[in-house]
Amino acid sequence: MPYRVIQWATGNVGRAAVAGVVAHPELELVGCWVHSPDKVGRDVGELCGLGSLGVRATDDVAALLALEADAVYYSPLLARPAEVIRLLESGKNVVTPLNWFFPDRASAAIAELEAACRRGGATLHGTGIHPGGITERFPLMISALCRDVRHVRAEEFSDIRSYAAVAVVRDVMLFGKRPEEAARSPMLKLLGHGFQQSIHMLAAGLGFVLDPELRTVHEMAVATAPIDTPVGRLEAGTVAAQRFTWQGTVRGEPVATVRVNWLMGEQHLDPPWSFGPGRERFEIEITGDPPARVVFHGLHPTDVRAGQQNNPGIAATAMHGINAIPAVCRAKPGIATYLDLPLVSGRAATPLARRG
């Protein structure tokens, strides 16, 4: 019998997740929560551009809690821990790209989540792309080729014009704002919460004994002339590129570096940042014996217009979680990280998985 899945929210990641559930031979979509009143009652497949699926979207949390289901793919804009606790207590495993990649087990908030897992006999798993894979899962895998690992770097280079979320880019990332305003961006905290977990997972997997405090750096480049973007015009003197860096150190020396480079194109920037010859990509570099460097292409759109319609990075974020659902459903109750689960893989295209 397939695992019965509820999709929680139908934003960019949620729509990709629904497509992933429909394509996965071990999963069945049985419910969907939506935030917008205009989506309530509509067929989820039609909301996601897939045609009719026979599942209606709802904002009735109580009805979904009572629904017989094995798992929830939880991808609203922001996580609500109290909501996640209710899902876990109802006996539903939760997979999410929003948090809990490698949480601090000593914190009271995490103890409350683990208690909810025990009460419901359920598992919580955080997974995605960056953080949630590029930053910790794949570096740990690649490090198996090396001895005497001295440093790990995971870095993203992205044209943020492809990110189809105007409110997030303008009001959360604070592109188009003056540098002094963007310096107060909540992204350092929002992203940092995930990336700090990534660094601690790397340390746990590799055996680094980190200094108590992680380093954080926020750098910006401003527009030297107006830049027209899908989220509106960025005026000269406003922020048009940002770089966030988090580092774990041992006795003051960096041993783990996580970085994002977000540019609104490469024109009219001061400093004159660029993607370099590698263009948009994710990089993982292991400094050890032997050294290893892996570059991920294909997880970025071919151009800005294509990215507004179908961003492969968003699809990859969703699929890393969707493909994990069977393993999470089989895991013992509690919070499960990559260090706790078996290898997760994708599945063959349907025509290639049939005989004859």
62-73: pLDDT as tens digits: 999 999 999 999
Which parts of the chain fold into alpha helices (H)?
12-23, 44-47, 61-66, 81-89, 108-120, 137-143, 166-167, 179-182, 187-206, 304-309, 312-322, 325-330
Q: How far is CA 264 from CA 91, 226, 260, 267, 280, in A?
A: 43, 11, 13, 8, 12
Fold of 3-129+317-353: Rossmann fold (3.40.50)
Range scoring the smallest mean pLDDT among 201-205, 230-234, 322-326: 230-234
Whether pLDDT at 228 is above 70:
yes
Range scoring the smallest mean pLDDT among 36-50, 180-194, 230-244: 180-194
So where are the chain's domains? 3-129+317-353, 137-298
Structure tokens at 67: 């629904």
Which numeric CATH code is attached to 137-298?
A: 3.30.360
Query: Which band of pLDDT confidence, cut at 50, 70 and 90, is reported for residue 288?
Result: very high
For 126-155, the pLDDT digits (tens) are 999 999 999 999 999 999 999 999 999 999
